Amino acid sequence: MNSLMTNQSVLLCALRWSARVLSILAVGVVLMFAFGEGLNLSRFTARELVLFVFFPFGVCLGMALAWRWKGLGGGITVGSLAAFYLADRLMSSSFPRGFAFAAFAAPGFLFLLCWLWGRSNTRLKAEG
């Protein structure tokens, strides 16, 4: 039983650090686009501004918060991605194509998985 808990702890730590490293890469890409393209929010249309709040701003904010609060940050990331898809669908009657948006937000899913797994491990330790 003890070796099982140790193996799970190692896997949980690897999952957490994978989410962290991927979040750094994702936020870094956003910053490179923002500074490389000269981000100017005053030139955004209302539609673009609404979408920008959810993606990339909300997604990146969630990833930053997830470093300290995995559940909250992961939830904000995944929720922002879902709100982005919903808002884009409602405003343009089409759905964003490709996997890039979901791939970019993947660390948020990993943070949520890490949080859920950590909660179940804590519950098992308390019961055992």
Q: What local confidence, expressed as pLDDT, does residue 13 receive? A: 92
Structural contact between residues 87 and 93, judged by C-beta atoms closer than 8 angstroms? no
**Residue carrying structure tokens 């539609």:** 47
Structure tokens at 66: 């997830």
Query: Please, what are the averages of pLDDT over each run of 10 residues along the chain (128 residues)?
Result: 71 95 97 88 92 96 98 98 93 81 96 92 61
**CA-only gyration radius of the chain, Å:** 17
What tokens appear for 87 in the block? Answer: 């808002």
> Whole-model pTM above 0.85?
yes
Instruction: Give the pLDDT of residue 3.
Output: 66
Site of tokens 């990993």: 110
List Cα–Cα distances, 87 to 33, 38, 52, 96, 124, in angstroms: 22, 25, 11, 10, 40
- Both tokens assigned to 27: 């936020």
**Which residue in 108, 93, 7, 112 sits closest to 47, CA to CA?**
93
